[in-house]
Structure 1
Amino acid sequence: MMIAGVLIALSMAAICAMALYQSRLDAMAHATEASRNVALLAEHDIERNFELYALSLQNVVDGVNDPELMAASPRLRAMALFDRAATATYLGSILVLDAEGNTVIDAASEVPRKGNFSDREYFKVHQNDPNIGLYVGKPYASRLRGGSLSIPLSRRISRADGSFAGVVLIAVQLEYFRKLFASLSLGPHGSVALIGRDGSMIMRQPYDEKVIGRNIRDASTFKHFLSATEGSFSDTSVIDGVQRLYYFKNLPNLPLIIMVAEAHTDIYAVWRHRALLIATVMGALAAAFIGLSFAFGIQLRRRLRAESELAMLARTDGLTGLSNRRTLGEILDGEWRRARRTRSVFSLLFVDIDKFKVYNDTYGHQAGDDTLTAVAKCIGDNIRRPADSAARYGGEEFIVVLPDTSPEGAAHIAENIRAAISGLCIEHSGSEYGHITASIGAATWTPEQDADVSAVIHAADKALYDAKAQGRNKVVLSMSPLA
């Protein structure tokens, strides 16, 4: 009866959980779609206006290059160059600058307002690159309009020979974006932003003047923005620390990114209320069914996990993750028997870190443990076959078991391990090499020999001793009989 009650309660809880989970996914999907629609609205408005601004810029560039038009009176020239663009809402200035950055034509006045803007980025980029085309710059404080925040749209003016003749500038007031974004509904903690592809923040809602112009290219959110043309993801804002669902789109014709983000707290507000109500009712109904089974399950899982961990600890070295000496004995016995039975070659490597005691005394045991772990990884990375295995023999010594491996093959693997350990370049002032190295002895049993596995270990150990005697950081292959 208890089992039946538990099964019924779990079934009810599972159905409830699935419904709530699907409801949560639906809330996220709805939020994604809503953010996408908001982004599309903002995108269409921005692209439409910027297209008009770009056409106005090109009209001015063409007019400036028309000698007949430039010879006309300032009034007629202004009408032809600017039409009524200068009166458009949120346009701060339309200026023509000469090659030195001085204002020569001003849409706001027949007598140009005096100013030199050769230090501005929008001037320098055209001065240095004739192929830049339409340039959308970073936010700046206008000198002609008392520090009003704007972003520049500019084009290069070139002479007939292609040389630099100046720049045409349209300053778009950031108030345009602020009004546009303020009209979009994003919830109490939502955010919408326009960001340059260089990471500069052009406008953000909620508005904070301190954020305008800030570069966020190192933020995790911005890296997502550059990873695809458009998409969505969840992350925490680097600006205000709020976790949000972000939808972003790189505008196809402008170096801008539109980002719409709804806060998770807003997305899941209704869902949380519903989930709390359902969970409360379900909890009251299921408490009698799952109380004892839940406690029993916890105890059972703890026991199984403890047994699994104990079994793993019994077979592996806790520091390096390689097999321990006890497991090594089992591996050696099994592989030795198989080699004797199938009359196949059997190789063994004895690896020892050179002057490890001196290293420990100099750098401390924590550094020693880190080095042992790194060396163990080098060994593991260089034995690729499933039958090959490695174990920590003790201290700084390791043994590698290589079934069906010839002396040449064993020497090759040993050399790879030695080079990998040396390649770690772990500083060791007590070594003649200046860094951690290892000496390796290799031995091979062949069917023609009559010996046991201890003889192979002894031969590999002797080869290791020879490697040490020859100056360390070497591989020596045992050439002596094993018997």
Structure 2
Amino acid sequence: MTDRSQRQAPRLLPILLQAFVLAVCLAFVATEAWRLADSHRQAEAGAEQDMSNLAKSVSRQAADSLLLADGVLTGVVDRLETFGVQPVGELNAFLAEEVERSSRIRGLFVYGADGRWLASSLRTMPAGQNNQDRLYFRHHQRFDDGRSYLGPPIQSRSDGRWIITLSRRYEDADGRFAGVVLASIEAQYFADFYADFDLGHQGVIALVGQDGVIYARSPDNEGNVGRSLAATDLFRRIRGHHDGLLAYRSPVDQIERLSSFRRVDGFPLMVIAAESRNEVLAAWRKAAWVHGTLTLVSVLLCVVLGTWLARQLRLRELAESRMAQLARTDSLTGLANRRAFEEVLENEWARAARQGTSIGLLMIDVDDFKSFNDTYGHQAGDLCLKRVAEAVRQCARRPADTPARYGGEEMALILPGIDLQGLGEMAESVRLAVLALAVPHMESRTGRFLSVSIGASLTHPRSREDAEARDQLIRAADDALYDAKAAGRNRVALAR
């Protein structure tokens, strides 16, 4: 691994940590969302199953009630066709006894061919009543099919209550229409039965005819019996089906419900059992709120922890970077130190060998620095070195140019990819930059101001790992520096 990749690897750790935390949070949120969606489906599916079972049970109860009434009607018709209506007193007692034996039948009535009341299970029979106008009476006048007829809910003429009627035709000895026998069941009987089921505050069970008329409903039976749903979307969706599941908005109270509907076997009726979607999902919403809050808190904690850890990694990386920088930096001048100089020279040497380019080196020495220290003191000497180092740094304008403090008052400048002419020009610019500082040096042998001598060498590396050749480059620059000193200082000498 290269030095650059080694430096970049730690920098990726905070990013990788944040990516990992984000992935964990997303996975956590996705899992919780899937769990909530699944529990939502299960809640609705459970409610639909409950409603399906309830609709089956209620439809069976409705069928049993009507079959019981039909059985009683059949017995009354047989009696009438065998023994006739007379005596009326005995017939009334018989009808009352039949009603007494069944808690489902409210009343039994016998009407003549002209619609007059002939007998009933009531204690007192209203005088002058005639039911010739009733739909069930006209039906039996027209049809001789031997079957019972379930009429729409009507209000009783005896007490005004809503009743469901089941009737049969009876005939005289010559097979002619002799009248109608009718059994009535209170709509409230079904509503009271439905009320025993716990469907929450907004649940509904309704008994509806195939024409859309409501026969019974719990709750609010009296306010809905006789109402037609034929024009509603609800009835259009269930018409023609034997049973099924349905989510709908009620045309009665506008409440959204989950329901099951089922035909009543043997009769033109259907049962609708429904629960409010809001109540079905109440427990789910409560659990979703709790789990959602916990998930949010967990995600926030994870994000906070991940952010804190990433920040700690960055701080640690910054501290390590600073320590590494300090370990590679000369504390006085801020230039690369001897160790960093050697590392950079090795890396640039390998790159030059790989790319077939050159590498140049300047060795820079402050002229008469010992006498400067002796004359102006060590603090002034340190300040002098700082100013010289800054001048060298200002001349190293290319990104790869690396100034370094080689030791004492000696500095170096590594110049990758430079030619011989450029090398000389760079060395001269450094020399002039130091002179331009105009640092007084009264003990200098070259003039009144501080100056530097520079040795320059250039080579084309052949091998990436040739340490001896690198040393030769340094020795050549040192030799050139010695030549510059010997020639009178404050000058540049190129290696021979």
1:15 partnered with 2:47: no
1:166 partnered with 2:179: yes
Which amino acid in structure 1 is aligned with residue 119 of structure 2? Answer: I
- Give the SS at the match of 1:25: helix
1:5 partnered with 2:18: no
The gaps in structure 2 that reach 5 residues or longer are: 1-15, 305-496
1:199 Cα deviation (Å)?
0.6
Q: 1:248 aligns with which of 261, 278, 296?
A: 261
CA contact (8 A) 2:88 2:118 kept: no
Superposed, 1:27-426 pairs within 5 Å as: 27-66=43-82, 69-70=83-84, 73-78=87-92, 83-86=97-100, 88-89=102-103, 91-109=105-123, 113-131=127-145, 133-145=147-159, 147-159=160-172, 162-287=175-300
1:89 Cα deviation (Å)?
3.1
CA contact (8 A) 2:243 2:263 kept: yes
C-alpha distance in 1 between matches for 2:57 and 2:221? 22
C-alpha distance in 1 between matches for 2:123 and 2:291? 68
Which amino acid in structure 2 is aligned with residue 203 of structure 1? Answer: A
1:247 Cα deviation (Å)?
0.9
C-alpha distance in 1 between matches for 2:156 and 2:167? 15
- Give the SS at the match of 2:231: coil
Which amino acid in structure 2 is aligned with residue 5 of structure 1? Answer: V
CA contact (8 A) 1:90 1:175 kept: no
- Give the SS at the match of 2:163: strand
> 1:103–1:86: structure 2 CA closer, same or farther, 3 Å change rule?
farther
List per-residue Cα deviations over 1:20-79 (Å, max 9, x = no partner). Answer: 11111111121112222322332333222221110011111111111xx22763344445
CA RMSD of superposed structures (Å): 2.5
C-alpha distance in 2 between matches for 1:93 and 1:252? 23
Q: Percent identity, aligned pairs only?
A: 27
The gaps in structure 1 that reach 5 residues or longer are: 292-483
Which amino acid in structure 2 is aligned with residue 251 of structure 1? Answer: V
Highest CA radius of gyration, 1 or 2?
Answer: 2
> 1:227–1:15: structure 2 CA closer, same or farther, 3 Å change rule?
farther
List per-residue Cα deviations over 1:129-173 (Å, max 9, x = no partner). Answer: 22272211112111122x121111111223455543221111111
C-alpha distance in 2 between matches for 1:143 and 1:86? 21
Which amino acid in structure 2 is aligned with residue 236 of structure 1? Answer: R
C-alpha distance in 2 between matches for 1:173 and 1:84? 16
C-alpha distance in 2 between matches for 1:87 and 1:28? 42
List per-residue Cα deviations over 1:227-254 (Å, max 9, x = no partner). Answer: 4211111110000000000111111111
C-alpha distance in 1 between matches for 2:89 and 2:112? 19
CA contact (8 A) 2:99 2:106 kept: no
* 1:25 aligned partner: 41
List per-residue Cα deviations over 1:108-135 (Å, max 9, x = no partner). Answer: 3587754111111111222222227221
C-alpha distance in 2 between matches for 1:112 and 1:60? 21
C-alpha distance in 2 between matches for 1:125 and 1:60? 19
Query: 136-145 or 53-62, which moves further after superposition?
Result: 136-145
Which amino acid in structure 1 is aligned with residue 215 of structure 2? Answer: I
- Give the SS at the match of 2:67: helix
- Give the SS at the match of 1:16: helix
CA contact (8 A) 1:86 1:108 kept: no
CA contact (8 A) 2:96 2:120 kept: no
- Give the SS at the match of 1:130: coil
1:197 Cα deviation (Å)?
1.0
> 1:273–1:157: structure 2 CA closer, same or farther, 3 Å change rule?
same
CA contact (8 A) 1:225 1:250 kept: no
CA contact (8 A) 1:193 1:202 kept: yes
CA contact (8 A) 2:192 2:218 kept: no
CA contact (8 A) 1:102 1:118 kept: yes
- Give the SS at the match of 2:106: strand
